[in-house]
Amino acid sequence: MSGHEDTYKPQSGIAKWMDSRLPIARMMHGQFVDFPTPRNLNYLWTFGGILTFCLATQIVTGIVLAMHYVPSATEAFDSVERIRRDVNYGWLIRSIHAVGASMFFFAVYVHIFRGLYYGSYKAPREVLWILGVFIYLAMMATAFLGYTLPWGQMSFWGATVITNFFSAIPIVGETVVVWLWGGYSVTTVTLNRFFSLHYLLPFVIAGLVALHIWALHVAGQNNPTGLDVKTKSDTVPMTPYAVMKDVFALAIFAMLFAWFVFFLPDYLGHADNYVEANPLVTPPHIVPEWYFLPFYAILRAVPDKLGGVILMFAAVAILAFAPWLDTSRVRSTKYRPIYRWFFWLFLISCLALGYLGSKPAEGVYVMWARIFTFYYFAHFLLVMPIVGIIETPSSMPRSISEAVLGKGGGKGAPAAVPASPEKR
């Protein structure tokens, strides 16, 4: 894909001068203007752009919040209240940042399940997919660190519980935890380093995103048929086609975002986090943010602490092995009559684990959490390898353009789409 024809022609003298020294405009033109995108992409493919928007929003609002926030156990909670009450539009910036974290995860989950459904992790996109898993991991770390900063009860006890995972490591566990805390409990020292790392990690994510996009532009985008791009008529130039669609989808996404920012700013949070952190009082329910609930359910489904922690991390890590666990010859689940059912079962399992993670770990909840945890892993370790071998794919179109325009290419042969439709 990166080998497509270079159509960049510098117009002005300055552009020509620049082009022979640092051809950045040529690169941008090749990668984001006439870059060929499959013509059959549906709206699920707009979430890459939406996620870039989410990252940018979090970084911009986060930088402004950091100008007013005080990372200290005695002042953090007060400083957040000052932002809400006394900083000009502080309530708005904070609300966008807090809701933005949830929107970011909502978008990333759509993006991940899109990849799973259409087999976007399969060759030649394994590295692209693994970079995505790293981005997801970095997002989880950033979100966790950020949630400790307001220094409410959930911040404090969440930080205590999560860092305690590392104490499950045999022999060195306790030492590691003391090292993470910078002391013998979660204190202002811990808060300071969490703030520092929370500011650092988004830029790590931005770097990973650059690699992710690079890898995407080498392999080219997957598409709903999962077929490779064969001819020029299978694609349209990224600008204006894909960009226009992305921008429209982004506007719709922004409406959902705004609904929560303005009408439900606290719906996705937890009331206990408006209680200032108190190391002497444990909240009755320690519950993570919604986007971590499935993993929390997996953690608590295992009676053994070390086992629970291992399984929880494995639940994320196993995603990275999907390219090799899936033995199917075709990418898109659209043409996989058996696997299709298992895909939806997997999605339901993840949602069910999310619900169970919000409930106390007792009685029937634990039993169901174990059942769905079993299926979560069975999906990767049993279903993906076995179904891929035994299944016969249903009949597929021969090419992307046939999928869009029908056999014979609709009204005559599909002509290559002009780059600028108004100049037809």
Partner 1 sequence: MLKIVRAVILAGAIAAPAAAHAAGGDIEIPRQNWSFNGITGMYDEAQLQRGFQVFKEVCAACHGMKRIAFRTLYERGGPEFPEEAVKALAATYQVTDGPNDDGKMFQRPAKASDRWPSPYANEKEARSIHNGAYPPDLSVIAKARGVANVSPWWKHVFWDMPRDVVTGYQAGGADYLYAILTGYTDPPAGFQLSDGMNYNKYFAGHQIAMANPFAGGDGQVTYTKGPDGKPTAPETVEQYAKDVSAFLMWAADPVLEQRKQMGWTVLLYLLVTSVLLYIAKKRIWAAAH
Residue of 59, 204, 211, 254 that binds partner 1 (CB under 8 A): 254
CB of 65 within 8 A of CB of 108?
no
Of positions 179, 203, 248, 344, contacts partner 1 by CB under 8 A: 248
Least separation in angstroms between CB 353 and partner 1: 13
Closest CB 263 distance from partner 1, rounded Å: 4
Exactly one of 9, 230, 285, 329 binds partner 1 (CB under 8 A); which one? 285
Report the chain's C-alpha Rg in angstroms.
24
Q: How far is the CB of 355 from partner 1 (least distance, A)?
A: 6
Sign (positive/negative) of CA torsion 41, 44, 45, 50? positive
By CB under 8 A, name the one of 22, 251, 389, 390 that touches partner 1: 251
Supply the minimum distance, in Å, between the C-beta of residue 351 and partner 1.
8
Helix (H), strand (E) at residue 253? helix 243-263
Which of 53, 104, 105, 157 is the binder for partner 1 (CB under 8 A)? 157
Q: How far is the CB of 365 from partner 1 (least distance, A)?
A: 10
**349 with 241: CB under 8 angstroms?**
no
Q: Which is nearer to partner 1, 13 or 284 (CB)?
A: 284
Among the listed ranges 221-229, 256-264, 320-328, 338-346, the one in contact with partner 1 (CB under 8 A) is 256-264
* Half-sphere exposure (Cβ direction) of 241: Cα atoms closer than 13 Å: 19
Q: Of the candidates 252, 348, 382, 386, which one interacts with partner 1 according to CB under 8 A?
A: 252
Among 161, 176, 213, 338, binds partner 1 (CB under 8 A): 161
Stretch that binds partner 1, among 6-14, 67-75, 117-125, 157-165 (CB under 8 A): 157-165
Q: Is 406 in the site for partner 1 (CB under 8 A)?
A: no
| Number of residues near partner 1 (by CB under 8 A) | 57
At residue 237, what are phi and psi to the nearest 5 degrees? -65, 145
Question: Do the beta carbons of residue 393 and residue 335 sit within 8 Å?
Answer: yes
304 binds partner 1 per the rule CB under 8 A: no
Q: Give start and end residues of each alpha helix (H) in 46-167.
A: 47-66, 76-85, 90-117, 126-148, 153-164
Residues 351-370 that bind partner 1 (CB under 8 A): 355, 360-362
Question: What is the footprint of partner 1 within residues 182-211 (CB under 8 A)?
Answer: 184-185
By the rule CB under 8 A, 390 interacts with partner 1: no
What is the distance between the alpha carbons of residues 88 and 96, in angstroms, rounded to a whole number? Answer: 14
Q: Which residues pair with 38 in a beta bridge?
A: 235
Site for partner 1, residues 45 to 104, rule: CB under 8 A: 78, 81, 84-85, 91-92, 95
Decide: 96 and 262 in contact? Cβ < 8 Å. Answer: no
Q: Cβ neighbours of residue 415 under 8 Å, at least 6 residues apart?
A: 233
Q: What angle do CA 228, 321, 205 make, to 5 degrees?
A: 85
Residues 6+ apart with CB under 8 A from 78: 70
The answer to whether 110 contacts partner 1 (rule: CB under 8 A) is: no
* Residue whose structure tokens are 């996705």: 268
Cβ 196 vs Cβ 129: under 8 Å = no
Residues that bind partner 1 in the complex, under the rule CB under 8 A: 39, 78, 81, 84-85, 91-92, 95, 157, 160-161, 164, 167, 174, 177-178, 184-185, 236, 240-241, 244-245, 247-248, 251-252, 254-255, 258-259, 261-267, 271-272, 274-275, 282-286, 355, 360-362, 404-405, 417-418, 421, 424
